[in-house]
Amino acid sequence: MEEEQKAILFKISSHFPSPQGVKISYGTAGFRADASILQSTVYRVGILSSLRSLKTQSVIGLMITASHNKVTDNGIKIADPSGEMLTQAWEPFADQLANASDPQLLLQLISEFVTKENIPLDGTWTGEILVGRDTRPSGASLLEAAEQGIGSVVGAVALDMGILTTPQLHWMVRARNKGMRATELDYFKQLSDSFRCLMDLIPNKHKLNETDDKLVVDGANGVGGEKLEILKKMLDSLAIEVRNSGKGEGVLNEGVGADYVQKEKVTQHGFGIEDVGIRCASLDGDGDRLVYFTVPSNSSGDIDLIDGDKILSLFALFIKEQLSILNKEVDKNATNNYEACLGVIQTAYANGASTDYLKQLGLEVVFTQTGVKYLHEKASQYDIGIYFEANGHGTILFSECFLSWLDARNNELSAISKGSEQQKAALRLLAVSNLINQAVGDALSGLLLVEAILKHMGWSVHRWSDLYQDLPSRQLKVKVVDRTAVVTTNAETVVLRPHGLQEAINAETAKYTRGRSFIRPSGTEDVIRVYAEASTQEAADNLANSVAELADQFLGYGSNK
């Protein structure tokens, strides 16, 4: 590393001392903490994103957001060249940078890493980092810190993309690196065009079905609601009402949003008995999660949740149907046949009933740890990989290989049987691949796909909800002394450490019919998460409470004893 570069890094780094006595770790989706202690972390991640851009010779993304967390938190997500989350291989370096106690150590770490990774800092390549933020009040000053970090690396420049949803930024990074136009308008245009294309392909018998038409969306008082207001103006065939759009007095994620709705299963602020029977959806604070729900007529305050598992099931059903139409009359001797490999990815949070349902459909279901980075990686190994977390975070990935075959097949069908059911199926799959975000889970594109599929099937939200009956479940959080003391295996379903805890959980779970329970440390909040399901709600609640007590006994302050 040149002396000039070292001097710049040393000088600017001294303005960003790391917070005393705090260890910050790269978690499920980047760094996340109270915004007041994040200046130095964000500055250092700015440096890292510059190095990543120079190393990959591609555009990189840096998003300032804490997504579903409370408004006083903030965080950073990094988008790699293909729009995916930062490669896991660089996470240890991110941890080291974030925790370097002084500028000298920081400089040494960077210098060693640059040499090891052979990163060109000689001005032969200009790094470019697209920077975005959500609507949190702390976002503007943290964005400045990120820009200082990016500017500390000679040859790297930051491009402020303004307030965006996280998936918009990931989409832009991917588009830029594919040589495509990548403004916000381009994003909206791609979504609305492909949605229109799917709507044009709705079977005639369902075209005039005007029932169940209104959709009410909870924007979590965040950026997703704001963007949906813009997008909906480009969609003439969909009536959307956005509530909790962030324009009023409501607080981001407070009693609203996808995380609240999915975990608490009660109506959020702005929704109530007047919404009985209406199709409703909820986004999270940075617009990367989506769940649907309806308000039942019993005025209990509860909702009927349609979570990520059911969105996944709807998508899987539709994709499977289109593939079977496409392959219906295949000429067994033809050389251009393609048996697409379809895979479905879930985590341990997936409701047991959803996994049973997907398996009954004959689909291959694979489990990974929690975190989009793991699910996405797995899904990318299929021709079509559908991944969803129960919390509503997911998408459908199409392999380049399958897409180029599909494109060619569509051209061929258009020449020999234009307008045939087979060609329509090819066109639908192509439209889905354009609509659904290929970089990361995206509530806005997911919502449009759900809407298009419901129309295609001629289904009401209730018909969709009845695909299968969820097993009753409960999620709890437990505050413990040190959540990193928990080590898990088998896609987080088994606790390895502390010793004896898994045996205790097993003994408790065995008492319940269809009982299943696990604990894992959160990677976005300083808590242990507890999940339990069983044959009745009371049993699921009791199991969750017992397991939470065990977690407290083994790891906590003993407050539950």
- 350 among the known binding-site residues? no
Angle between helices 443-457 and 308-326 (to 10 degrees): 60
Q: Is 19 exposed, middle or buried (0-12, 13-18, 19+ CB in 10 A)?
A: middle
Rg (Cα) of the chain, in Å, rounded?
24
Interacting residue with ligand G16 among 389, 442, 549, 552 (CB under 6 A): 389
Does the annotation count 473 as an active-site position? Answer: no
* 40, 49, 67, 194: the active-site residue: 67
Nearest approach in angstroms of CB 288 to ligand G16 is 5
Q: Does 371 bind ligand G16 (CB under 6 A)?
A: yes
- 389 among the known binding-site residues? yes
Closest CA to 386 of 326, 327, 447, 320: 320
Segment (H or E) for 92:
helix 91-99
Residue list 1-40, contact with ligand G16 (CB under 6 A):
28-29
Nearest approach in angstroms of CB 130 to ligand G16 is 18
Q: Does 288 bind ligand G16 (CB under 6 A)?
A: yes
- 284 among the known binding-site residues? yes
Q: Which is nearer to ligand G16, 310 or 393 (CB)?
A: 393
Query: Taken in order 29, 34, 36, 37, is the CA torsion positive or negative?
Result: negative
Q: Does 289 bind ligand G16 (CB under 6 A)?
A: yes
Residue list 508-547, contact with ligand G16 (CB under 6 A):
522-525, 529
- 102 among the known binding-site residues? no
Q: Does 483 bind ligand G16 (CB under 6 A)?
A: no
Structure tokens at 471: 């097993």
- Total binding residues toward ligand G16, as defined by CB under 6 A: 18
22 phi, psi to nearest 5 deg: -120, 130
Query: Taken in order 247, 252, 256, 258, is the CA torsion positive or negative?
Result: positive
Q: Does 385 bind ligand G16 (CB under 6 A)?
A: no
Provide the edge-to-edge strand list for the sheet that holds 279-283: 239-243, 214-218, 279-283, 290-294, 304-306
Question: Helices in 201-293 by DSSP H: which ranges?
Answer: 204-207, 223-232, 258-264
- Asked if residue 498 has a cis previous peptide bond (ω within 30° of 0), the answer is yes
Q: Does 391 bind ligand G16 (CB under 6 A)?
A: yes
Angle 228-257-522 (CA atoms, 0-180°, nearest 5)? 125
The CA dihedral of 24, 345, 460, 440, to the nearest 10 degrees, is: 50
- 539 among the known binding-site residues? no
Helices then strands, counting H and E runs in the chain, come out as 19, 19
Spell out, one character per residue from 327 to 366, where the chain touches ligand G16: x when CB under 6 A holds, - when not: ----------------------------------------
Closest CA to 313 of 454, 458, 205, 215: 454
Q: Is 208 exposed, middle or buried (0-12, 13-18, 19+ CB in 10 A)?
A: exposed
Segment contacting ligand G16 (CB under 6 A): 172-180, 281-289, 336-344, 538-546?
A: 281-289
- 522 among the known binding-site residues? yes
Q: Does 68 bind ligand G16 (CB under 6 A)?
A: yes
Segment contacting ligand G16 (CB under 6 A): 128-136, 353-361, 368-376, 489-497?
A: 368-376
Nearest approach in angstroms of CB 415 to ligand G16 is 43
Segment contacting ligand G16 (CB under 6 A): 320-328, 389-397, 497-505, 551-559?
A: 389-397
CB 129 within 8 A of CB 150: yes
Q: Is 105 exposed, middle or buried (0-12, 13-18, 19+ CB in 10 A)?
A: middle
CB 226 within 8 A of CB 278: no
Interacting residue with ligand G16 among 18, 41, 67, 322 (CB under 6 A): 67
- 127 among the known binding-site residues? no
Q: Is 352 exposed, middle or buried (0-12, 13-18, 19+ CB in 10 A)?
A: middle
Nearest approach in angstroms of CB 73 to ligand G16 is 10
Nearest approach in angstroms of CB 469 to ligand G16 is 24
Interacting residue with ligand G16 among 51, 242, 372, 453 (CB under 6 A): 372
Q: Does 232 bind ligand G16 (CB under 6 A)?
A: no
Q: Does 376 bind ligand G16 (CB under 6 A)?
A: no
Q: Does 369 bind ligand G16 (CB under 6 A)?
A: no
Nearest approach in angstroms of CB 290 to ligand G16 is 10
Nearest approach in angstroms of CB 32 to ligand G16 is 8
Segment contacting ligand G16 (CB under 6 A): 137-145, 149-157, 227-235, 282-290?
A: 282-290
In the chain, the amino acid numbered 240 is: I
- 286 among the known binding-site residues? yes
Q: Which is nearer to ligand G16, 371 or 472 (CB)?
A: 371
Give the list of residues 6+ apart from residue 58 with CB closer than 8 angstroms, or none.
Answer: 81, 177
- 484 among the known binding-site residues? no
Q: Which is nearer to ligand G16, 515 or 523 (CB)?
A: 523
Q: Does 393 bind ligand G16 (CB under 6 A)?
A: yes
C-alpha 204/C-alpha 199 separation (Å) is 11
Nearest approach in angstroms of CB 441 to ligand G16 is 8
- 137 among the known binding-site residues? no
C-alpha 373/C-alpha 384 separation (Å) is 17
- 67 among the known binding-site residues? yes
Q: Does 243 bind ligand G16 (CB under 6 A)?
A: no
- Count of other CB atoms within 10 angstroms of residue 447: 25
Catalytic residues: 67
Annotated binding site for Mg(2+): 67, 284, 286, 288
- The contact set with ligand G16 (CB under 6 A) reads 28-29, 67-68, 284, 288-289, 370-372, 389, 391, 393, 522-525, 529
Annotated binding site for substrate: 389-391, 520-524, 529
Annotated binding site: 67, 284, 286, 288, 389-391, 520-524, 529
